[in-house]
């Protein structure tokens, strides 16, 4: 299992918006050049971040701003904005295990609570890291 790159690209985008906001018009083309992906990918993520009220996208002349203070945006907020997690469930369980098989019949009862515990732990950790934390680390590296 692997979380898609949408999450890390979204974090990259948000850090770029903040770092370059005073020096450049931060457009999808500008962001795409930093991430090194097609601008269409960036525009799709920007739409999702806008829908989640994390950013504001200016029409016409273009440009993007972060709508909230960085210390109020968590990694979980970003993850929830851009990842397609059905019904809030990180793990997708195969729907029809064979009920005639002793493993198939019991696999849900064996795994469900463990997977839920793992997901809650991941969400707790993501909730504890803000975009400001990532910005601080990024600035330290850039300045060194």
In a domain, residue 1? The reply is no
Asked if residues 26 and 8 have their Cβ atoms less than 8 Å apart, the reply is no
Mean pLDDT of all residues belonging to the chain: 90
> What token pair was written down for 90?
């990180």
Predicted TM-score (pTM) of the model is: 0.85
- Provide the pLDDT for residue 33: 95
- φ, ψ of residue 91 to 5 degrees: the values are -95, 130
In a domain, residue 17? The reply is yes
| CATH number of the domain to which 41 belongs | 1.10.10.10
- Provide the pLDDT for residue 114: 92
Mean pLDDT of 90-106: 84
Euclidean distance between CA atoms 47 and 137, whole angstroms? 26
Q: Which residue has the tokens 């793992």?
A: 118
pLDDT digits over 121-132, tens only?
Answer: 999 999 999 999
In a domain, residue 115? The reply is yes
Element holding 56 (H helix, E strand): strand 55-57
Question: What range defines the domain where residue 36 resides?
Answer: 6-143
Euclidean distance between CA atoms 135 and 40, whole angstroms? 25
DSSP output for 72-106: G-BHHHHHHHHS--GGG-SSPPPS---TTSHHHHH
- Provide the pLDDT for residue 2: 54
Total domains in the chain come to 1
């Amino acid at each position: 299992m692997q979380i898609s790159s949408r999450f890390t690209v979204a974090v990259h985008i948000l850090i770029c918006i903040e770092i370059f906001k005073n020096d450049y018009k931060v457009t999808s083309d500008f962001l795409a050049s930093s991430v090194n992906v097609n601008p269409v990918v960036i525009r799709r993520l920007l739409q999702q971040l806008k829908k989640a009220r994390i950013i504001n996208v200016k029409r016409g002349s273009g440009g993007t701003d972060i709508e909230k203070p960085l210390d109020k945006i968590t990694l979980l907020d970003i993850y929830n904005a851009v990842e397609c997690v059905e019904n809030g469930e990180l793990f997708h369980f195969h729907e029809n295990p064979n009920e005639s098989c002793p493993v198939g019949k019991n696999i849900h009862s064996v795994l469900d609570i463990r997977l839920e515990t793992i997901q809650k732990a991941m969400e707790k950790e993501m909730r504890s890291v803000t975009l400001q934390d990532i910005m601080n680390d990024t600035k330290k590296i850039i300045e060194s």
